[in-house]
Amino acid sequence: MKTLLAALTLLLPWPVRRWVLVRFWGYRIDPTSRIGLAWIFPRRLVLAAHSQIGHLNVCRGLDELRLEEHARIGRLNWISGFPARPDRHFAHQPERSPRLVLGRHAAITHRHLIDCTDTVRLGNHAILGGYRSQVLTHAIDLERGRQHAAPVQIGNYCFVGTSCVLLGGSRLPDHSVLGAMSLLKDAFSEEYTLYAGVPATARKNLGTDWKYFSRPEGYVW
């Protein structure tokens, strides 16, 4: 019944749909935020002022989706997770938290695949750019013969190029760039750095005075 009601909400004008989502789902949706024609039904949803989710996105299986002020998700993204409930696949990880969190002015562009079996976090002003990147927080632990999940963190003012793969446990530090078609599998710490390659390694230092790293607002596309 709830699935049918969720489908029916897609036909409602946004102001009415927002009221239904707040009233019956208990979501926290600022009046200035907006969701397009998209299937967005995590357990908890927080949309801060002026945040936006575009058309034809799917978000399912998450415990929480949170967009801070002016954060944006573009179109045609598939965002899924495995709910944090007792399950034999992740029994060894009771602390696992299936969430997607976008900081202030952060953005995810179009046509990405984001696995939030554990937390995926984009820092303030970070952009997951281009098309067809994959964020994969869980995989098979071949040594132990079981599923294992780990979070992925993209720092403040980071940029991720097109067609990248980011694996569980990886971290792109603040003020850094991940080059197009790279594989990020390690937790790096050196800021103002270009990381690139398969697997990604530090390639060169970036200027601390670059305007991207200090802009007060996010970019639109």
Segment 142-191, tens digit of pLDDT: 989 899 999 999 999 999 999 999 999 999 999 999 999 999 999 999 99
Q: Which burial class, exposed, middle or buried, applies to 15 when counting CB atoms under 10 A from its CB (0-12, 13-18, 19+)?
A: exposed
Percent of the chain with pLDDT over 70: 99
8 Å CB contact between 98 and 114: no
- Per-residue pLDDT for 2 more than 80? no
Query: DSSP character for 90?
Result: G
Model pLDDT, residue 5: 82
- Per-residue pLDDT for 220 more than 60? no
Model pLDDT, residue 218: 81
Q: Where does the pLDDT of residue 206 fall: very low under 50, low under 70, confident under 90, or very high at 90 and above?
A: very high
Model pLDDT, residue 133: 98
The secondary element (H helix, E strand) that includes residue 78 is strand 78-80
- Per-residue pLDDT for 221 more than 60? no
pTM, to two decimals: 0.95
Domain 28-82+96-213 has CATH 2.160.10.10: yes
Model pLDDT, residue 85: 78
Model pLDDT, residue 173: 98
Type of residue at 42: P
The pairs formed by 184-187 with CB atoms below 8 angstroms and a separation of 24 or more are: 187/153
Model pLDDT, residue 1: 67
Helices H / strands E in the chain, number of each: 2, 25
Cα 153 from Cα 168, distance rounded (Å): 9
- Per-residue pLDDT for 13 more than 60? yes
Cα 118 from Cα 134, distance rounded (Å): 14
The secondary element (H helix, E strand) that includes residue 205 is strand 201-205
- Per-residue pLDDT for 138 more than 90? yes
Torsion of CA 184, 160, 188, 99, to 10 degrees: -80
Q: Kindly report, residue by residue over 67-118, the tens digit of the pLDDT.
A: 999 999 999 999 999 988 777 888 899 999 999 999 999 999 999 999 999 9
If you average pLDDT over every residue of the chain, what do you get?
95
Q: Where are the domains of the chain?
A: 28-82+96-213
